[in-house]
Structure formats: C-alpha cells, structure tokens
C-alpha cells in the first residue's frame, strides 16, 4: 500500500512530504526530515511540553482556530491540510522577536532553555487566541493554558509574567486571509482524491464506515494521545491507520431538548467546553483532565474508546448517565457507557464498528454534581482515583444518584451498590457514612506506581464524606472556590 502525501502550510509556503510511514510522529518529521531542531523531545509522551507546536485551521465561522499540541505523540499525517508553526517560525524576517519570545527575554523566563521552545509556542497560541482578539491575559488564564508545559528551573513565576507582558509589546499579526486561502486550496485538492493507502482519513461518516468495514485490521486513531504512547514507549508499529478526526459529522456538538450529542472526533477542549456550558462547576475538573496541548489533540470519543481505567472522562460521563452510540454499515447501537466495557481495555465494539457519539443528558432541576480528581501533581497528571457523584435531593431524600469511579477497577465503573444504598433514603449524616462504607467495600483496587490499594479505598470513602459536606454548604474545601491572585509589582 502507498503512503499518501502530507501537505501543510508553514511560513506561508506549502510543504509536501512523501513516503512518510503512517505511524511516524510529527516530532520525528520536524526534527529529522525538516531539521526543525528547535522543537525538543523531552518525555516522548505528551507530559512535558518541550515538543509543543501550534496548528491552525478554519473553525465553524471561517476564522483560524489555533491549538498548541504535543508533536511527540501526534502522527505526522494528521496535520495534512493544516497550518503549522514551530519555534523557528515566529521571529520576523529582520530577526525581530515575536512578542511571545521577547516577553520571555524581558521577564527572564528561561534558564537552562530546554523547555523554552515549548513554552514559547504555548505563549504564541495564547497570543493568537487572546491578545490578538483584545482579551487580557490574566494570571489564572496563563496558568491554565501553560498547564501542559513543565520547567525544572524557573519556578514558573517569570514565565507567567511573560504571558502577561505579551500584550504590552508591539502587535504582530498573522496574515490569516492568506493562510485560509492556502488551506482552502489544499482542501479542494484533497477532495479530489479518495482516502486510500496506509493512512486513511475519511471526510464523511459513510466513507468512514465503509473504510472500517473494508479494513477492520487498521488501527483507529483520533488525537493519538494514547496511541502515540504505544508508538513512542511501546515501539508498536501500525501498517495501516484509520483517522476519524476529519469526519465532518463526528466533529459536531449537537444540542437537543434533553441531551447533548458530542461527536467522537470532537476534541477534549471543545467537548469539555460543551459540558461546562451546561454545568459550570465542571470547569476545574475539565482543566485538570490533562495539559491544554493534550486536550487540544485528544478527543472525547478516543478517551471513551480507549477505556483506560484511569481515564477521567468516563467516571464523569457514567455519573451523568451518558450513552455511547456505536455505528457500522449495518446500523447503530445505543447503550449506557458502563455497558460498553467488558474488561481491561476491552469493549463490545465489533471489528466493523466505531464509536460515533456520546450522548450526555442535560442537567435536571436540583442536580448537585461534584467531580473529584486525586493525583500526585495538580496539573497535567493522571488520576490515582477519580470519583464523580451526581445527586438530586428532593425534600431531604435522595431522589436520584449517579456515581462513576476511576482507578479502582479494571474499567471505569458505576458504583451500583452505593447508588442502591442511597437511592430513596433520607440524605443525612448517617446515610453519608453508610454510603462511605459501601463505596470503600464495593471495589478491590490494585496497588501500582500511583497509589496503593488501601489508599485508593480510603480515598474513595473520604471523597464521599467530602461530597456530604459540600451538600451542606461547606465551600472552602473545593477547588472551585480557589482563585489565583494577580501578581503585584514591588
């Protein structure tokens, strides 16, 4: 099978690459094929941000949407038809630094310098998405959007200073109309060529389902935030890849009277934005799912299909009563999310099926929802335990409760015994204590590098007690009450 040509826009020019294997990462292509060695390899797993680059493509309203992503776990073919910026592309033709670079210099935001290119690219994404739109960069916004970049030297304060300093520097603009025109030419050219070969990237749902039926052995990918690790850490190779992220129907968030349908190709950034629009209390949990570059690449459908027992989206979706829709040329299946999993990273998908939609019920009147993530690091870390409790208390009685848990079993799970113990009971301290005991005994977690089994069981119960306290009005114990203070000048 032949490998299709990769075409993208960089520095205002069209870049064409041929004979690129389907499992070659974007970082490998940048450093080894294009000699863009400013982009660094740190962890090779999307954790440190040293490899950050920025991608852009037209959004629903035609304007460019910029996204900082990790190039180390992003497959090179996935940027076909997009615009790409690396750290080498920011300075002006006369050598003048871009505000993202100049601000780092002025604020002394670099020490050893290894992580600096990644920080600069995250700052560039922030600059395009906020400063160029006249929006102020607050301390809180800067910390949120730099959450995917790690530094061992600076203590972060000067880098946060640099993020806020950018808006005080002379404005530098991207010629967006020229970029959009180039991308439109690439799109028109791509539509003339059917998806075939080693890297399949269908543009419509019927095309995706037909390709899945014909190539059941192909590795399905979305944002590659998990599959990328299989390539970089497990050295797995995939002779053929089926990429769902270009399927127009699956890139949509559709709102109905009673639920929101999130397409499997919707990025985690956009999916959580849709969930937070209905449930603002989820914003902190959404921000902590991973660093922004991971959320900008990864998809909700990919997270669900991968089914990691420590994936944070599934406990939330289970607690909310979400359903997953599976599709093939034979038709579709609709089921509660918890019924999708059959074992560790195993599910009910047939060889010709794909995850197509996640259907999330809209909030009910009186809903009290809390999502808890326990991890060693506050930002950009994987959960040791995740617990989400969604209850509706009517006249002092638990009228409805949904509880999803992660990190305590081979799959993301619903706490059915604890739900049954609570449903229809008066919501009292005694009921909360009983639920705590039931929750601790309902699962038999394992010990691993993130936590011991005993710790996980203890924490599960502690979080149920915390939920009780929050339903009684105690607020200072939750992260939603915390706000990062603005820096003060001496």
Whole-number Å distance between alpha carbons of 272 and 290 = 12
Q: Which of 301-310, 385-394, 481-490 has the lowest mean pLDDT?
A: 481-490
Provide the percentage of residues in the chain whose pLDDT is more than 90: 86
Per-residue pLDDT tens over the stretch 315-363: 999 999 999 999 999 999 999 999 999 999 899 999 999 999 999 999 9
For the residues 217-244, what does the mean pLDDT come to? 92
Q: What is the C-alpha R_g of the chain?
A: 23
pLDDT of residue 479: 66
Tell me the per-residue pLDDT of 390-426, one tens digit each, with 9 for 90 and over. 999 999 999 999 999 999 999 999 999 999 999 999 9
DSSP 33-67: IS--TTS--SSSSSSS-TTEEEEEEE-TTSSEEEE
Model confidence at 161: pLDDT above 90: yes
Q: What is the per-residue pLDDT across 120-129, written as a single tens digit (0 to 9) for each?
A: 999 999 999 9
Q: What is the pLDDT of residues 138-148, one digit of tens each?
A: 999 999 999 99
pLDDT score at 148: 93
Cβ pair 433, 462 in contact under 8 A: no
Q: Count how many residues are written for the chain.
A: 490
Output the 3-class SS for 66-125: EEEEECCCCEHHHHCCCEEECHHHCCCCCCCCCHHHHHHHHCCCCCCCCCHHHHHHHHHH
The encoded tokens of residue 410 equal 């081979």
Beta-sheet pairing, 413-414 with 397-406: antiparallel
The predicted pLDDT at position 379 comes to 82
Which letter does DSSP use for residue 363 in this model? P
Strand partners, 82: none
Q: Give the per-residue pLDDT at 1.
A: 63
pTM: 0.93
As a whole number, the mean pLDDT across the chain is 93
Least confident of 51-55, 57-61, 176-180, 433-437: 57-61
- Domains and their CATH numbers in the chain: 6-168 (3.10.20.30), 199-361 (3.30.465.10), 367-471 (3.30.390.50)
CB atoms within 10 A of CB 398: 20
What was the pLDDT predicted at 483?
66
C-beta separation of 306 from 79 below 8 A? no
Asked if 55 and 71 count as a contact pair (C-beta separation under 8 A), the reply is no
Q: Tell me how far apart the alpha carbons of residues 75 and 28 are, in angstroms, rounded to a whole number.
A: 9
Q: Can you give the pLDDT at residue 484?
A: 67
pLDDT at 381: 86
Mean predicted confidence (pLDDT) in 108-136: 96
Q: What is the pLDDT of residue 481?
A: 65
pLDDT at 192 exceeding the cut of 70:
no
């Amino acid at each position: 099978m032949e490998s299709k040509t990769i075409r993208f826009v960089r520095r205002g020019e069209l870049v064409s690459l041929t004979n690129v294997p389907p499992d070659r990462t974007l970082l490998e292509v940048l450093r080894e094929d294009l000699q863009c060695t400013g982009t660094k390899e740190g962890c090779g797993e999307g954790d440190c941000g040293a490899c950050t680059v920025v991608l852009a493509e037209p959004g629903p309203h035609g304007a460019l949407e910029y996204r900082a992503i990790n190039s180390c776990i992003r497959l090179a073919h996935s940027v076909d038809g997009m615009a790409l910026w690396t750290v080498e592309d920011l300075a002006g033709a006369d050598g003048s630094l871009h505000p993202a670079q100049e601000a780092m210099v002025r604020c002394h935001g670099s020490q050893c310098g290894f992580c600096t290119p990644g920080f600069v690219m995250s700052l560039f994404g922030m600059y395009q998405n906020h400063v160029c739109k006249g929006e102020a960069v607050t301390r809180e916004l800067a910390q949120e959007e730099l959450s995917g970049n790690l530094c061992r030297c600076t203590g972060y304060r000067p880098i946060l200073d640099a993020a806020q300093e950018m808006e005080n520097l002379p404005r530098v603009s991207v010629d967006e109309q020229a970029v959009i025109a180039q991308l439109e030419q690439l799109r028109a050219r791509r539509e003339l060529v059917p998806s075939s070969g080693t890297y399949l990237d269908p543009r419509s749902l019927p095309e995706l389902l037909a390709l899945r039926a014909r190539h059941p052995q192909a590795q399905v990918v979305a944002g590659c935030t998990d599959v990328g690790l299989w390539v970089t850490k497990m050295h797995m190779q995939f002779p053929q890849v089926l990429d769902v992220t270009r399927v127009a129907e699956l890139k949509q968030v559709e709102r109905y009277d009673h639920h929101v349908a999130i397409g499997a190709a919707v990025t985690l950034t956009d999916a959580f934005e849709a969930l937070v629009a209905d449930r603002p209390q989820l914003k902190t949990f959404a921000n902590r799912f991973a660093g922004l570059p991971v959320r900008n690449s990864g998809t909700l459908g990919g997270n669900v299909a991968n089914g990691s027992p420590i994936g944070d989206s599934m406990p939330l979706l289970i607690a909310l009563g979400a359903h997953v829709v599976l599709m093939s040329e034979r038709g579709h299946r609709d089921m509660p999310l918890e019924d999708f999993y059959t074992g560790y990273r195993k599910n009910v998908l047939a060889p010709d099926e794909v995850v197509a939609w996640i259907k999330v019920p809209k909030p009910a009147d009186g809903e009290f929802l809390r999502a808890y993530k326990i991890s060693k690091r506050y930002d950009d870390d994987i959960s040791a335990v995740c617990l989400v409790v969604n209850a509706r208390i009517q006249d002092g009685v638990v009228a409805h409760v949904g509880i999803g848990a992660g990190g305590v079993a081979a799959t993301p799970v619903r706490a059915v015994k604890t739900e049954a113990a609570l449903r229809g009971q008066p919501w009292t301290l005694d009921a909360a204590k009983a639920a705590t005991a039931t929750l601790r005994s309902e699962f038999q977690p394992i010990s691993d590098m993130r936590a011991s089994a005993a710790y996980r069981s203890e924490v599960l119960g502690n979080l149920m007690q915390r939920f009780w306290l929050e339903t009684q009005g105690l607020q200072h114990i939750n992260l939603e009450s915390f706000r990062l203070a603005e820096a003060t000048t001496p």
